[in-house]
Amino acid sequence: MRVIILTTDTPHHLYFVREVSAFFNITGIAVESRVLKASFKTHHSFEDERNSYEIAELLKKEKVFFTDFSKTKVFNNINDHECFRFVKDLKPDVIITFGTGIIKKNLISLCKDGFINLHGGDPEYYRGLDSHLWAIYNREFEYLSVTLHRLNLSLDDGEIIEKDLIKLNKNSKIINLRAETTKLCVHLILSALSSFKNFGFFVSKPQERKGKYYSFMPAENKKVCLKNFEQHIESVQNSVSG
């Protein structure tokens, strides 16, 4: 089974690749270097704490590189022709995308039945960017989930292969959320790849509804997210102690 991963260079994506490679051989990795930015301020200080936490929690402060796990090439845009040639030459059975920009038709055509995407959220309610943060902003904590779905030309709209909720507890912090999301991504992918290896296809079902599309969250909204999350965890703590 020839598995290709399309991703970006971040600590949590490095962790994901490392964990998957411990169970399945990764044939190649394509890394998208461009960083999409909004026209307004989006950064909040808790994101700096989050990055430091992920390096310590996920990578144990070790130096980790994609080249440690497979043949790797970096492309400005994941849809560049050079990336298309790189992936095509590897003859993939499965392509996993985790954290890249929108994938276009040419690339999808290389592995139509085995092209899958990890979405940090529930696409039947939240599609697009910052899905978890928007769910927190709206106080809809029941939609803090991770979804593995087939990739198609409509954003976060493909048939669902697996979905699971992120489990929050009295010690949860917003800076931990992406790390816990990534651990769950690993779990879903390992389960799906095992199934594909045994049966030669992914079992999936159509989404029952199409979630609202969200874009970048402004920094001011992230302040609200932080407050909402802390209040929610406080309620969890009270329910446990009560």
Q: Is 171 exposed, middle or buried (0-12, 13-18, 19+ CB in 10 A)?
A: exposed
Q: What is the pLDDT of residues 188-231, one digit of tens each?
A: 999 999 999 999 999 999 999 999 999 999 999 999 999 999 99
With a CB cutoff of 8 Å and minimum separation 6, the contacts of 132 are: 120, 121, 126, 144, 166, 177, 178, 181
Q: Is the pLDDT of residue 240 over 80?
A: no
Q: What is the pLDDT of residues 22-74, one digit of tens each?
A: 999 999 999 999 998 999 999 999 999 999 999 999 999 999 999 999 999 99
Instruction: Give percent of the chain above pLDDT 70.
Output: 99
What pLDDT does residue 112 have?
86
Whichever domain contains 89, its CATH number is 3.40.50.12230
Domain interval for residue 29: 3-241
Number of structural domains found in the chain: 1
Average pLDDT over residues 117-139: 97
Angle of the 177-199 helix axis to the 11-21 helix axis, nearest 10: 30
Full-prediction pTM beyond 0.85?
Answer: yes
Instruction: Give percent of the chain above pLDDT 90.
Output: 95
